[in-house]
A = this chain, B = another copy of it.
Amino acid sequence: MHQLDSAVQLEHNDGRFSGQTSAAYSNMVGPFGGITAAQLLNALLLHPERQGEPLALTVNFVAPVKDGAFEIAPQLIRTNRSNQHWFVTQTQNDVVVTTATAIFATRRETWPTTDFDVPEFPATVETVPYFPMLPKWMQNYTFEMEGGGSGMFDPKSETSYTLKSIQDAPPRPLDFLSLTAMGDTFFPRIMIRKAEFVPSGTVTLSMHFHVDAATLAAHGDAAVIGQARANRFNRSYFDQTSEVWTPAGELLLTSMQSVYYKV
């Protein structure tokens, strides 16, 4: 079993889901936020009352998730003709550590267009090397970027922008679970901008999905491409927005975070 599938594995008992944090996806402190988001999403995907596919997910990081057992309790707010609204809590020893709202939708063919200007992915990329000082979750991914990430912590940089390819390592067919986790693999922008380690943590994360499960499955296990940037760092918080698309230019995910920082 791929370590991502192990990490999001849940035991279902009468509408509540039990799981365990994954050592493979640990962060500096506690779990990688992207795996927490994928675990919450999986509880909904496994829920017997779930209808449709993920459209939007907002995850609020309420308190530190400790290593060990957790419980996820999805609450179905309403099922409409073409969408469904959920409120979800993740608890540890009855203390809420994460909340989420999610919308699932049954999508139909409509007039389509993409206005997103797909950035040209650098012709020459190198794999970003893993160093033991980096968080453990990074070992589950292959990231490729210009210069192999050597420019990522450029002290002269006046931008918080990153463009990179993202692939599960080992490769795994793309689905909503892996896409959700991949969407959170962009380092806190304050560290890119300041070119140094800065204590920081996401407090809320919103993701909007642009395609259905069949489109993700058709992509297979190839790398996707993503970019992230911040607009403003001010008084303890910054925003972080990102987009993920296929090498063919199909936009899969747009995302926005609010991140606490201390510097």
Contacts and interface: CB of A to CB of B under 8 A. Distances in A.
Interface stretch (A39-47, A101-109, A137-145): A101-109
Interface stretch (A26-34, A175-183, A217-225, A232-240): A232-240
A193 B109 CA distance: 17
Give how many copies assemble into the complex. 2
Contact of A101 (B101, B112, B231, B234): B101
B234 A210 contact: yes
Interface stretch (A122-130, A166-174, A255-263): A255-263
Interface extent on A, as a size class? 35 or more
A208 B60 CA distance: 13
A13 interface: no
A162 interface: no
Contacts of A78: 62-63, 96
6 contacts: A60-B85, A60-B103, A63-B78, A103-B203, A103-B258, A208-B256
Contacts of A251: 231-232
B87 A229 contact: no
Interface hub of A78, A241, A258, A260 (most chain B Cβ within 10 A): A258
- Chain A residues touching B, majority SS: strand
Nearest to A212: B235
A21 interface: no
Contacts of A99: 77, 85, 87, 101
A113 B263 contact: no
A208 B233 CA distance: 12
A206 interface: yes
A241 B263 contact: no
A164 to B, nearest CB: 18
Given A99-B87, A99-B101, A103-B203, A235 B112 contact: yes
Contacts of A194: 111
A58 B58 contact: yes
